[in-house]
């Protein structure tokens, strides 16, 4: 299938869902730019460096892009659960800088490009923003919940320009990082509680992202697409 020359920037494509999305979109002939602090050896697409926590670096990223039809933001960091008495303001700010402020900086500098193309934005969020996180700390859940506000607010502000902004809300997904860090017995226990009986794979998330940035999406904006195997039902 030939895609009509759509240029997509994937921020955070060095591993996991971002990398899978880059490789999947490439098979559909999208024109892909990947951007992160390090380039994956598993991705052969055009690469531009960015440190998402540094506004100067983000600005320079977009100075190197002359045309853009869509952005996929797949950057995220986390921390383990701990007692609130151990809360660290510095750690909280670091997580918010990457998970939330980074999105806003990207959109600040991408806005004019997206306005010209009447482009599309997809933010990779998390089931944690709907409920809570089983393994990550409150800092992570707060940051992911904040992304819901980003999508809702900017969907209204961007509507006049024909820019659509949405998010995907995957539950636990079989990325290399997950498989290397979660005990297999614990993982099996988690899977047994999921209605579909397994965790998601990255390609399933990538396919949902592709729909939201494609010409097939003409009227969805301000939404979060739940991809969780039936674990959460929005009533």
Average pLDDT over residues 49-76: 96
pTM: 0.93
- Within a 10 A sphere around the Cβ of 166, how many other Cβ atoms? 23
* Half-sphere exposure (Cβ direction) of 168: Cα atoms closer than 13 Å: 29
Q: Is the pLDDT of residue 235 over 70?
A: no
| Integer CA distances (angstroms), 17 to 34, 87, 95, 211, in order | 12, 29, 19, 15
- Tell me the pLDDT tens digit for each residue of 144-191: 999 999 999 999 999 999 999 999 999 888 776 666 667 778 888 888
Residue 20: the pLDDT is 94
Q: Is the pLDDT of residue 8 over 90?
A: yes
Residue 184: the pLDDT is 79
List the domains of the chain with CATH numbers.
7-172+202-227 (3.40.50.720)
In residues, how long is the chain? 235
Nearest to 121 by CA among 226, 227, 38, 9: 9
- Tell me the pLDDT tens digit for each residue of 65-116: 999 999 999 998 888 889 999 999 999 999 999 999 999 999 999 999 999 9
């Amino acid at each position: 299938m030939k895609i009509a020359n759509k240029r997509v920037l994937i921020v955070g494509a060095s591993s996991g869902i971002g990398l899978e999305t880059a490789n999947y979109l490439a098979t559909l002939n999208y024109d892909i730019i990947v951007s992160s602090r390090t380039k994956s050896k598993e991705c052969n697409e055009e690469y531009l460096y960015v440190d998402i926590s540094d506004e100067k670096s983000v600005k320079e990223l977009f100075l190197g892009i002359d045309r853009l039809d869509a952005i996929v933001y797949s950057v995220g960091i986390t921390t383990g659960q701990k007692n609130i008495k151990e809360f660290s303001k510095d750690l909280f700010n670091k997580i918010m800088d990457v998970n939330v402020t980074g999105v806003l900086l990207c959109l600040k500098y991408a806005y004019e490009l997206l306005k010209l193309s009447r482009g599309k934005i997809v933010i990779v969020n998390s089931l944690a923003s709907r409920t809570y996180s089983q393994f990550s700390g409150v800092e992570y859940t707060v940051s992911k919940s904040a992304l819901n506000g980003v999508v809702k607010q900017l969907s209204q502000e961007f509507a006049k320009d024909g820019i659509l902004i949405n998010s995907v809300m995957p539950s636990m997904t079989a990325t290399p990082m997950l498989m290397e860090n979660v005990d297999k017995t614990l993982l099996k226990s988690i899977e047994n509680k999921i209605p579909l009986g397994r965790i998601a794979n990255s390609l399933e998330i990538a396919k949902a992202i592709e729909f939201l940035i494609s010409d097939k999406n003409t009227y969805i904006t301000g939404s979060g697409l739940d991809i969780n195997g039936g674990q959460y039902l929005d009533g």
